[in-house]
Structures are given as structure tokens and as C-alpha cells.
Structure 1
């Protein structure tokens, strides 16, 4: 516990020092610390995965080493926004209310899954299915803005907790990433034969989101500069092809047409 506190305090001191130094140059930035939950093929714990590869392609040509780490979502978010142990978190959406700043380009499109028990006898009609029901998603996810919620929302802290609530009848439907749902069901020893799974109708662009500060502003400018280069060279498409997961966001695909027209 003492070692963890020391690391947090050290991270705070380093970030405070970096943010307070006026006129720093890119030569001061040798490493970017990035955190995300462990998502298979996207952010593997061993440092492999689509997102880690994209970040290396962005930063390492500029002499900035990417240091990836994995942690559960809520803890990872706090490590970026409150404790400043990491420079950025991967997989955040815009307008979450968190003290984060974003690059111009998203890194992926996320389609969340909706799971509900077969015994409920629901007929899937898109978002209309949620009306009047008790719906659960991870705390802080903000899947749908408050103005669009015609249902009762219960936020859970872990997907495992959400699955437990679904089994206990405390939730009618659960919304989360499919990989997380599948893992939670497996760990609970529950088969998919008892559930129906549907995709949310609209995908959400997700980003690499950075802690506020001048260091992040430089890292974002480098990200914005490099993504069009990776699109034009075909390197970005090659990374998506390599991992066979994820989806290049429409705003990023549009870069190719812009580059070709120049």
C-alpha cells in the first residue's frame, strides 16, 4: 500500500512539474504512458494489440516511447484524470464530463451489446425496447444522454456485478461491450442459451483521451499530425487488417479522399 501511494505521489509530482515548466519543447517528452482495460486483441496485457500498435505508429517515429498499461475502466480513468499517473486512456467517448482533452481523430467505432434473459419474452425493437424498463450499464459510460432515457437507469461498477443483477431480476436489460459480457457470463458459469443478445443501433466513435495540460496538448498535436500520414501511407489500414478487429472511423476514412484531392 505504501509503495502504491509513493508511486501515485511521484506521478503527481512529475506531472505537476511538467505542466508548470514554461516553454518546454518536444525534446522533453520521451515517453507517453497510456492505460486501458484489457480488451483481447485491442489492448492485450502483454503490450500487443490494435490500439497499442496504432499508438506506437503515431509516437515512436517522433522518438516518444509508448508505455501501455491495463487496469479496470474506473480505476484507469481516475489514474488519468485525478492522480495523473498516466497521460491518456484509450476507449473514451467525447462529452462524458470528464476533465479530458481529445485529438481530432477517433481511434475506433464501438458497438455496444444489449443482453436480456429469454424468459423476459422481449421482442427487440431497437431503442424502443428499453422504454419503461430497468436498464444497466457501467458507471460513467453515458451510453445514451439523459434526454433520451425513457427508462430507469442503474449503473454498475463491474460487468460481473451487472450480470449478477440481470440474473437476480434487478435489471431487465444490460448494455456493455460484448467481450466484457461474455467473460462475465463465463465466470458466473452461465450459458448464453438463457439470453438474447442484440447490438445497439448506432456505433460510437471512441478516442485516446488525454489528461489536461500542455504535455497532452503537444501529444495531441502529434497524434493529429500523424494519423493523416498513416492513412495516406496505408499503414493504418494494415494495422486493422493485421488484427482483424475494430473499425476505422468514418472521419478517419474521409482523410484519404482529402489527401487524394490535394
Structure 2
């Protein structure tokens, strides 16, 4: 079995009775704090609506902190969540198809680190959004700090309460815009760490398994019809994750 349990949930879902009827999908996502969070959630939400609503499944969205969203799905109190990475949690179902990619960067004040590679992070106070699990992409020992909100983490960086913040570069740039002068990008340096695919994650309930299977059946339909490309253009998202 792979760490992302794709084979497991596909096999088990095939065993489900065809009589299982799914009429709605409770989807959780991170609380929007600024334009880019609302913007990217709107894109992902609309993708999921295009997957499910044409076949009669209503998608309901609930905003909660990221880590709470994980717990809700793991405990079957929600059917799924947005913005999940492979390998973060073993008891959620990760489908085969992603819907977006993130360029994960480390950002820090210029001249504060002698950056050659990630070894520059050794012993530094490094922060990221709670639940994202970015420690998997830092092969050195750091003083890691998890923060619920992106805006709070950038303010901590500006006030030298942390040395480095790690996140998707687009999210960092847009969050800094929302801070209205509290974060001057010209004083900071960005260094690439990893490209990560984003997936919905589903509960391990019978309903979650069926929703996951429908997602993997419907995503290639949206891609080949051109609908996914249209959604990315509509929301002005800078990277279309299926060009290669």
C-alpha cells in the first residue's frame, strides 16, 4: 500500500454498493484572511463545484483553521477539505488527481542569512501555517513554529520574532499586499524549496470514498473539455498545473 493510500481507497470504493446515494459534500477549507485566500479558495471551490454539481451533488463550504479542517475530515465530521499535500495525514483519502500546484519558498530579511541551500536554516526560527507539515521539506534541524494565520507570521518576520517564513510564494506576495505597509517586500529575499501539488482530501467513510472516486472520474473530463483552463483564466491564477 502506498503512503497516500490511493490503491486502498480505489479498491474499497469498488466494493461499495451502487445503492449508496450522495446528495451533498461538506467541504472544509482554511479561513480566508485576505484577497488571495478568498481568491484561491474560490478557484478550488469552483473546480469542486464543477466536479460534483453537474451530477446532482451540492458542495457546501465551511471555513475553519487548517488544522481543524484536517481533524474534521479525519473524524468524519466533514466529507473533505481543500489544499492538502500527499503524505501529511495517513487517515484521509488522497485522490490521484491534483487541482493546483504551489511553489514553496523560504522568505527572510535580506542579509540575515548566508543562503547557499537549506542548510542555512539550521538552528533558525522557521514558521509556516499550522498543519502544513513543511518540516518534511527541510532536511535540517530548525526551531519550527506553526502559526494559524499567514498575516500573523509575516508580522512576526517583520518584527524579527522569527527568522524565516515558509509558504507558497503567491500566497506570501498577496498576503503582504493585504498588510498595507506593515511588510515591505523590498527588504526580503525569496528562496525556492519545493513544488507541491495540491489535492482535496476525503474522509474514510463510505461517503468520502465515493466522493473521492467521483472526483478522479470527473477531473479528466473537466481537463479535456477545457473547463479547467477556463476556470484558471477566470480567476487569474498565475500557474495552470496541467501544462506539462
Q: Distance in 2 between matches of 1:202 and 1:228?
A: 25
Once the 2 structures are TM-superposed, how far is the Cα of residue 214 of structure 1 from its aligned partner? 1.3
Shift of 1:112: 2.8
Q: Which secondary structure state, in structure 2, belongs to the residue aligned with residue 190 of structure 1?
A: coil
Q: Is the contact made by 1:111 and 1:200 (CA closer than 8 Å) also made in structure 2?
A: yes
Q: Could you say which residue in structure 2 is the equivalent of 1:247? A: 239
Distance (Å, rounded) in 2 between the aligned partners of 1:102 and 1:253: 22
The alignment partner of 1:122 has SS state of coil
CA distance in 1, matches of 2:232, 2:180: 32
1:198 corresponding residue in structure 2: 190
Q: Give the 3-state SS of the residue equivalent to 1:61 in structure 2.
A: helix
Match of 2:56 among 63, 73, 91: 63
3-state SS, counterpart of residue 40 of structure 2 = coil
Radius of gyration: which is bigger? Answer: 1
Q: Distance in 2 between matches of 1:193 and 1:50?
A: 26
Q: CA deviation at 1:244?
A: 1.7
> Contact conserved, 1:109 with 1:203, CA < 8 A, in 2?
yes
SS of residue in 1 equivalent to 2:222? helix
Using the TM superposition, name which of 135-144 and 232-241 deviates more.
Answer: 135-144
TM-score by length of 1: 0.73
Q: 1:116 aligns with which of 108, 111, 131?
A: 108
Q: Structure 2: any 5+ residue segments left out of the alignment?
A: 1-15
How big is the alpha-carbon RMSD for the aligned residues of Structure 1 and Structure 2?
2.8
What SS does the corresponding residue of 2:71 show, helix, strand or coil?
helix
Runs of 4+ in 1 over 6 A off after TM superposition: none
Aligned with residue 220 of structure 1, among 200, 208, 212:
212
Q: Which of 78, 92, 97 in structure 2 is aligned with 1:86?
A: 78
> Relative to 1, partners in 2 of residues 1:154 and 1:29: Cα closer, same or farther, differing over 3 Å?
same
Gaps of 5+ in 1: 1-21, 44-48, 255-262
**Contact 1:31-1:64 at 8 Å conserved across structures:** yes
217 and 106 in structure 1: CA distance in 2 versus 1, 3 angstrom threshold: same
Instruction: Answer whether contact 1:110 1:204 (CA < 8 A) is retained.
Output: yes
